[in-house]
Each structure stands twice: as structure tokens, then as C-alpha cells.
A and B are shown apart, each in its own frame.
Chain A
Amino acid sequence: MSDTVTTPPRRKHYLNVDYGIKSWLLTQDHKRIAILYLISITFFFIIGGVMAALIRVELATPLGDLVEADTYNRLFTAHGVLMVFLFLIPSIPAVLGNFLIPLMIGAKDLAFPKLNLGSWYVYNLGALLMVAALLRGGTDTGWTFYTPYSSTFADSEVILTALGAFVVGFSSIMTGLNFIVTIHRMRAPGLTWFRLPLFVWAHYGTSLIQVLGTPVVAIAILLVAAERLLHIGIFDPALGGDPVLFQHLFWFYSHPAVYIMILPSMGVISELIAAFSRKRIFGYKFVAFSSLAIAVLGFLVWGHHLFVSSQSIYAGLIFSVLSMLVAVPSAVKVFNWTATLYQGSISWQTPMIYALGFIGLFVIGGLTGTMLATLGIDMHVHDTYFVVAHFHYIMVGGAIMGYLGGLHFWWPKITGRMYSVFWSKIAAGLIFVGFNLTFFPQFLLGYMGMPRRYHAYPEEFQILNVLSSAGATILGLGYLLPLIYLFWSMRYGERAGDNPWGAYGLEWETSSPPPTLNFDEPPVVTTEAYDYLSLREKKLA
């Protein structure tokens, strides 16, 4: 805000060093790679969103009258696969994490810039396989690929889609590995572990899961392909296999993977709450360690997806109690964020609206998660819309709110421009209202007994489904707005200045947009994280 006039028009930064297409496609700059990822995932978010819209239109009436049952099945599969593998998993880490981790720790780049670029190509290769599968008619197994349906019975592009997920998994491993090494080796002088922004801690936990968990799902996918192609009996009992084995392998990765989607978002929320309360996060160490606790405990609860799938009662008991334990670090985070607001200096800027919205939605998602972890309740609501509502509260209400909040927070840093405050607040409001209208009725539907993945349903479920579809319209509009005004701001937005929010953090000490090597002089850290007192002494206007 302050230095709009004084900024020399031709200062070199990472965006204007070169304009050629090659300078983008061969870049090793983590900031440019982040932009490449941003473009890719936005593209798939839009496609996945269109599919969601079709699903909701179909479900506005009880009869399956818009598309055929088979088409419907292919739609929800594509929606799930694209949103999970091509949007949510890479979203915050590959875009915001990629852009910000080196800046936040005062480094010139990630530890392995070529690996970073490579991960984007690997991602696109996997995405290409999935798109090819879509163009050839798509897959109808659901994003969970349960056997023996997927391995023996499904007559669709299972292998191509699964192979896509397999390949994309490698890009995720590459990013995780890069972050771990970077965070260990490249912190600026004085930046000890407990001075790291919580965003970095959250990404550290996420990266551990990516590196340790992804290989397991990769193996499960290969085994499905082997059974389909070579008829080796692994999952199909007719060939001597065990159908439930797949569910164990799948969830051994995919439960931790749900934390790959939410932990980075929690990291963003910690940053936003600190910045817009101008205050150190309450219980910093507890919040930091809760990320690690979630990463570790998250590996021990996969069986809560199998409570009624013939798992023994004793396994059910153990997975249920462990799932209760994993909820505690999440609760600790929520309480610490709330306590941070106490006696803060709270500014209702757009990113903060997302952060506060996140807390509300995440609380609902987390509490319903613990309900699902309660054996006597899950028995009734498993595989109903209750589960659908639960994970959308977490993954859309939580993860996407965090992603959008972060995007709005760091947008001035990324582009050097400010977007329309008015429209961004309208959009945040629409998203919050639209989201709740879409997904809250689904809890009720689920408890009433509407199973998930139903193309047609009994009439008594219609009213709630219509509400949900109406909410989805508002939600869609809410997502459309940022697409427009953010794009618009890149050209017409007001120049933002280096630290428009008056926030603490190394990323705010360099110019906006940052130079290619991030800092003109290598920074040295002498203060604790979120030390607003020292920031005010230095320069807070």
C-alpha cells in the first residue's frame, strides 16, 4: 500500500526476468514451478467441478433421468479421482508450499530444483494418462477402486486411470522428498526448528506421509493391474485371492493421504491467524508437534474404513480407539487457534474470513469424523451420505478453504498485485454459505439411510437433495468469482507492496514479486516466529 508510487517500474523479479515459453517450461525456479502447478491444478479443479455439477443436477430428482446409470458412475469416479489425485493432494504443497517454503526459511530455492521441475512433468504425465482414460470412456470403480469389482468385473478404463494415479504418486513423493531435505538443510542462519513458521512444520509432517505412504498405494495399484492383465489371484476369491486385502492396502495409504490434504491447510490457517491477529500462535510447540502426531498416528487408523467389511470385531475395537486418539491433536490445534484470537489485534481481511470459516467447518468435519469412528454409529452410517458429508467438510470445507485463504494471503507476494477486496469478501461469503447448504443436508440424508454412489433414490430423500443441489449452485458461483477477479488483478490490480498485511515472516521481507534468488541479501534470523513486537519496532507503519 505504501510504496505504490516509488517502486521503480522495471525492477527485475522472477516473473519478468524472461517471458519466453521455454523460460517457463524449463525453469528451475521454485516460484515459477509453483505457478506451473497452479495452472495445472486449476484446470483439473474446473473439470472436476463440472462433473460435480452434473452429479448434483442428476440428483435433484429421484429418478436417474439426466444420464444413464453407467455414465453417472463414471462421473462420480472421475470427480473423485481428479479432485483427490490431481487437485487436493498437490494443491497446497505444490503451489503454496513450493512457492513459500524457500522464502520462509530464507533459502534461494528448494534443495533439488531439477527434481522439483521433474515432479511437475511427472504429475502431468500421470494426468495425461487419466485424461486419456476419460476420453476413452472413463472408469466406473469409484476413486477407491475396490476389488474384485475393479480387478475382475469392471468393464472400463481401470488400468489407465490407476496407472495415472500411480504416476502422479511419484510426483508427490518427489515433492515430499524435496521439502524434507530443504527444511533440514537450507534454513537461514539463526532459523532454528522452533523458529520455523508453522506452515513449514505442517509441510514437514505432510512430506513424511507422502514419502512413506505413497509407495503402498502404488503397490496396491500395481497388484490390481496384475490381476486384471495376468489373472494372478490376489484379490478375487474366484482366483484364490482375498478381496478385503485391497481395502487394507488402499486405506493404509489413503487414510494418511487424507492428512496429506488437510495438514498443509492447517499450516496455512496457523499463518493466517497469526498474521491477522498480529500475535504469536498460542501454544506454538503444541501446534507444531500436533502436525507430527497426526502424521504418525494417521498411519495407524486405516481400519476405520472397514468396520463392517468383515474385519474382526477386535480389529474394529483397536482401529476405533486409535481413531479417537488421532482426533486429539486436531482438537488441540483448534483450541490453540481460538486462544490465539484472545487479545489479538484482529483484522477482518479476506484471508482471515477464510481462516475463521475454516475453523467452523473443520470442527464439524472433525466431530463427525469421531462419530464415524464410533463403532455403533458407523455401522449405520458407513457408505451413506453421512460419510460423503464428513469428508467434504474436511476436504472442501477444510482443505479448500485453507487453500483459498492462503492464495488470497500470498497473492500480493506471488503477483505483486492486490485483488478487489470487495469481490473477494463476497466470494468468501458465497463459498461459506453455499458450502454449508450443499453438504449439511447430506448429514441428514446419510442418517436417514441414503447410500452413497446412488444414481437414483427413493422419493423421500428428494427435498434434502434439492437443497444440496441448490447449495452447489451458490458454491459454484463462489468459486467462479476468484477465478475472475484474481486473473483480472494480475493486470489491473493495485500494486501491493512488499508487506501489505503488516505480517511477520521472511517471505514478507523480500520484495513483491520476489527476485529470482528470493533475497537480495541472505537473511539472518534473530527473533522467534511471529514476533510482532520486534516487527513493530522495526517498521510497522
Chain B
Amino acid sequence: MWKNVPLFPEQASTLASEVDALYLTFLGISIFFGLLVAGLVIFFAIRYRRRAEDEIGRPEKAGIWLEITWSVIPLAILLGMFAWGAKVYIGAFRPPSDAVEYFVTAKQWMWKFQHPQGNREINELHVPVGQAIRLTMTSEDVIHSFFVPAFRVKADVLPGRYTTLWFEATKIGTYHLFCAEYCGVEHSKMGGSITVMEPADYEMWLAGRDTGPSVVASGQKLFRVKACSTCHRPDSATLAPILHGLFGEEVELEDGSTQIVDENYLRESIMNPIAKLVRGYKPLMPTYQGQITEEEVLQLIGYIKSLASDATENQGPESDSSSPASTPDEG
């Protein structure tokens, strides 16, 4: 609808028109009130111009009803805008259950992506149009922020934990990717592009490149190589908890509290296992901090998530996982 307005970013996601509608409505309200105040100020300033040196203004009694009116009307409008804005925001941080998960690792000053099929890219991301895509993101150093203006989405990318964001592209094209959080010398160069393709073209694009093993397969391999499998067995919970069917469930911790198993919990359990001990186990697990990269942790998590569906046949991993993992924060 606003496609040809030159001072407007392109609308290339399902979210874009929602954000724009909200913005333009608010803009309209603002222009109305702005012009009202400006008009009154200018009108009064001219109409009641001082005409004699000793003239004074006509004092008046404050009108309590006037005060109430001009407090309540703006308040009501603002609360309305709040509610609408909240709805858009909640939608933007709750991915649909069929969203496909991609991994993002940011570092000074580049973006690294991994497709679920295993494909990796740097500073460029190719995605199919019309498919909801969920990004699970982390940083290897400072805080960055993933920002695609054409999609109207932004989320900070933090070291030491995961944040998520989702979008569904609606228009073929190549769009700017920016880092929006100041992150040091090359902050303004820490950009790239998102290329939205027809699903068939996307498949061809994937096929035409050396894809490597999928995320789950890489994770499975790491699970063996890093010797996780010596303790975490599919059939015996004596040494360590069984990981099948774990993701999205609730576990009881040593101190009696409970914890939902989400990406952030899994990451912490790998990097700092004694921080949250599962009830009934000794602090035997070694820390993998410094032993594996952030990308490898993500692959392991991808693998562990894939085990969730092995145990409970009728529940897909995504429908199970989306609620805890989709809020931007767990801490």
C-alpha cells in the first residue's frame, strides 16, 4: 500500500504492515495534537498581542474540569496505543509453531548463520518466502542487535545466552541487515543482507552448495566426539539424565525448584553444569566452557531438541518448544 512512498522502508514481512499501521495511526494522532497546540499558540499569540505598555492579561480561575479533560483524553488515547503496540510486540516475539529454526552467532564484526539443513553463511542469509523463520541467536563477545528494517524486526544478541526473533518474508528481494547495538570500531560495517527467494529457488540454491551435515547430524556427531554419550545414555539414567524427550519438559533441581528445559537452560547445563544440578545427580559433569564453540553448542542443542520428538511421537518439537523459548528472556 505504501510501496511507492519514497521515505518509507520496504514492507517485506508479515509484520511490516502491522507495525506501519500502528505507526501511521500514531503519527496521525500526533499531527492532530501537534497542529492543535501549535495553532492555538500562534492564534493566541497574535490575537492577544500586547497593545498598551501597561496592559496585563485577564486573570482567570483554573477550571478543574478542563484539567481533568485534558488529562483523561490523552491518557485514554495513550493507553489505547499501548494496548495495540503490545499486541504487535507480543506477536513479534511469539513465533508460530511451524517456524523453522536457524542459528545466528554474532561476533565483532560479523554475522554467522546456519541453516537447519547445515548450510553456513556469513553476513548473508538466504531464506524462502512465505515460510516462518525463527532465529536463535547468541554472541561470542559483546552485545549486538539483529535488525532488518524491511521486516521491522530487531532483537539484541547477547553473549552468554540466547535470544530469539522470528519473521515471515513476504516479498522476493534483498534487504539490509544491520547491527543496531553499538559494538565497537566496525559497528557500522557489521551489516549484510537477507535474500528472500522463491521456495524452489531456495532449494536449488541450497542444493548448489556444499551443504555439509545438517545441524542435527553435526550435533549428534559432537555428542559422541565430546564424550557426552558416555554418561547420557538413551536407556539408563544412572550416571546422567536421559536426554530423550527432555526438551520443553520441567525438571526438578537439587534445591527443590523446577526449571523448564529451554535453549538457555541447555546452554548453561553444557557450559556450567553445576549451576543448576538436577535432583538426584552428583556434580560429575565437566564444564565445556572454552572446549567448544558457540556454534557447536547450538548444534548440540539442535540435536537434543530433535531427541524430544523421539520420545513423544505425537508432539512435534516445535509446538512443544515454542512457548518457553520464544520469550526474549528467561533471566
Interface residues of A (CB under 8 A from B): 64, 69-70, 73, 140-142, 146, 148-149, 152-154, 236-238, 242-244, 277-280, 282-286, 307-313, 315-317, 320-321, 324-325, 327-328, 331-332, 334-336, 338-348, 356, 359-360, 363-364, 367-368, 370-371, 373-380, 382-384, 444, 447-449, 451-458, 502, 532-533, 535-536, 540-541
**Taking the complex as formed, is B74 at the interface, i.e. its CB lies under 8 A from any CB of chain A?**
yes
Q: Which residues of B contact A536 (CB under 8 A)?
A: 54, 56
Contact indicator B143/A308 (Cβ below 8 Å): no
Contact indicator A334/B184 (Cβ below 8 Å): no
18 further A-B pairs in the complex, CB-CB below 8 A; given A73-B184, A320-B82: A69-B187, A237-B158, A244-B158, A244-B331, A312-B328, A320-B86, A324-B79, A328-B71, A338-B41, A356-B41, A367-B30, A371-B26, A374-B84, A377-B85, A447-B8, A447-B23, A451-B180, A535-B56
Once A149-B143, A279-B58, A448-B8 are accepted as A-B contacts, the answer to whether A456 and B189 lie under 8 Å apart by CB is: yes
14 of the cross-chain contacts (CB-CB < 8 Å) are A242-B331, A308-B328, A340-B57, A346-B48, A363-B33, A363-B38, A367-B34, A371-B26, A371-B27, A376-B88, A377-B19, A447-B9, A451-B188, A454-B187
Contact indicator B48/A341 (Cβ below 8 Å): yes
Q: Which residues of B contact A64 (CB under 8 A)?
A: 188
State the CA gap A29–B74 with chains docked (Å): 44
Residues in B258-313 with C-beta less than 8 Å from chain A: none
**Taking the complex as formed, is B320 at the interface, i.e. its CB lies under 8 A from any CB of chain A?**
no
Q: How many residues of B contact A (CB 8 A)?
A: 87
State the CA gap A149–B150 with chains docked (Å): 28
Cβ 8 A contact of A346, one of B33, B44, B75: B44
State the CA gap A455–B159 with chains docked (Å): 24
State the CA gap A23–B92 with chains docked (Å): 63
State the CA gap A310–B155 with chains docked (Å): 7
Contact indicator B159/A379 (Cβ below 8 Å): no
Contact indicator A363/B37 (Cβ below 8 Å): yes
Contact indicator B154/A540 (Cβ below 8 Å): no
**Taking the complex as formed, is B145 at the interface, i.e. its CB lies under 8 A from any CB of chain A?**
yes
Once A312-B329, A344-B44, A363-B34 are accepted as A-B contacts, the answer to whether A374 and B85 lie under 8 Å apart by CB is: yes
Q: Which residues of B contact A277 (CB under 8 A)?
A: 48, 57
Residues in B127-160 with C-beta less than 8 Å from chain A: 141-143, 145, 147, 149-150, 152-156, 158-160
Q: Which residues of A contact B93 (CB under 8 A)?
A: 313
B39 CB, nearest partner CB in chain A, Å: 10
Contact indicator A310/B180 (Cβ below 8 Å): no
State the CA gap A283–B64 with chains docked (Å): 8
Cβ 8 A contact of B89, one of A336, A368, A376: A376
B42 CB, nearest partner CB in chain A, Å: 8
Q: Which residues of B contact A70 (CB under 8 A)?
A: 185
Q: Which residues of A contact B331 (CB under 8 A)?
A: 242, 244, 310
**Taking the complex as formed, is B172 at the interface, i.e. its CB lies under 8 A from any CB of chain A?**
no
Q: Which residues of A contact B56 (CB under 8 A)?
A: 278-279, 345, 532-533, 535-536, 540
Q: Which residues of A contact B60 (CB under 8 A)?
A: 282, 342-343
A64 CB, nearest partner CB in chain B, Å: 7
**Taking the complex as formed, is B49 at the interface, i.e. its CB lies under 8 A from any CB of chain A?**
yes
Of all chain B residues, which has the CB nearest A446? B149
A259 CB, nearest partner CB in chain B, Å: 18
Once A148-B159, A242-B331, A367-B34 are accepted as A-B contacts, the answer to whether A279 and B59 lie under 8 Å apart by CB is: yes
Q: Which residues of B contact A279 (CB under 8 A)?
A: 56-59
Q: At the interface, is chain B mostly helix, strand, loop or mixed? A: mixed
Q: Which residues of A contact B143 (CB under 8 A)?
A: 146, 148-149, 243, 309
Contact indicator B19/A376 (Cβ below 8 Å): yes
State the CA gap A307–B60 with chains docked (Å): 44
Contact indicator B33/A367 (Cβ below 8 Å): yes
State the CA gap A320–B80 with chains docked (Å): 12
B167 CB, nearest partner CB in chain A, Å: 12
A266 CB, nearest partner CB in chain B, Å: 15
Contact indicator A310/B74 (Cβ below 8 Å): no
Of all chain A residues, which has the CB nearest B23? A377
Q: Which residues of B contact A282 (CB under 8 A)?
A: 60, 62
Contact indicator A146/B30 (Cβ below 8 Å): no
| Closest A-B pairs by Cβ, 7 of them | A449-B149, A237-B160, A376-B88, A279-B57, A375-B89, A374-B85, A344-B57
Q: Which residues of B contact A243 (CB under 8 A)?
A: 142-143, 158-160
Residues in B175-193 with C-beta less than 8 Å from chain A: 176, 178-189
State the CA gap A307–B155 with chains docked (Å): 9
Cβ 8 A contact of B55, one of A148, A278, A328, A339: A278
Q: Which residues of B contact A341 (CB under 8 A)?
A: 40-41, 44-45, 48
Once A73-B187, A309-B156 are accepted as A-B contacts, the answer to whether A380 and B40 lie under 8 Å apart by CB is: no
Chain B, residues 12-30, CB within 8 Å of chain A (1/0): the string is 0000001100110011001
**Taking the complex as formed, is B210 at the interface, i.e. its CB lies under 8 A from any CB of chain A?**
no
Q: Which residues of B contact A311 (CB under 8 A)?
A: 328-329
Q: Which residues of B contact A457 (CB under 8 A)?
A: 188
Once A320-B86, A383-B145 are accepted as A-B contacts, the answer to whether A146 and B181 lie under 8 Å apart by CB is: yes
Cβ 8 A contact of A154, one of B30, B33, B184, B327: B184
Contact indicator A374/B81 (Cβ below 8 Å): yes
**Taking the complex as formed, is B244 at the interface, i.e. its CB lies under 8 A from any CB of chain A?**
no
**Taking the complex as formed, is B66 at the interface, i.e. its CB lies under 8 A from any CB of chain A?**
yes
Contact indicator B55/A345 (Cβ below 8 Å): yes
Contact indicator B30/A368 (Cβ below 8 Å): yes
Of all chain B residues, which has the CB nearest A539? B54
Q: Which residues of A contact B89 (CB under 8 A)?
A: 307, 313, 316, 375-376, 379
Chain B, residues 60-104, CB within 8 Å of chain A (1/0): the string is 101100110011001100110110111111101100000000000
Q: Which residues of B contact A360 (CB under 8 A)?
A: 34, 37-38, 41
Once A278-B56, A308-B328, A334-B37 are accepted as A-B contacts, the answer to whether A345 and B176 lie under 8 Å apart by CB is: no
**Taking the complex as formed, is B53 at the interface, i.e. its CB lies under 8 A from any CB of chain A?**
yes
Q: Which residues of B contact A335 (CB under 8 A)?
A: 37, 70
B225 CB, nearest partner CB in chain A, Å: 24
**Taking the complex as formed, is B232 at the interface, i.e. its CB lies under 8 A from any CB of chain A?**
no
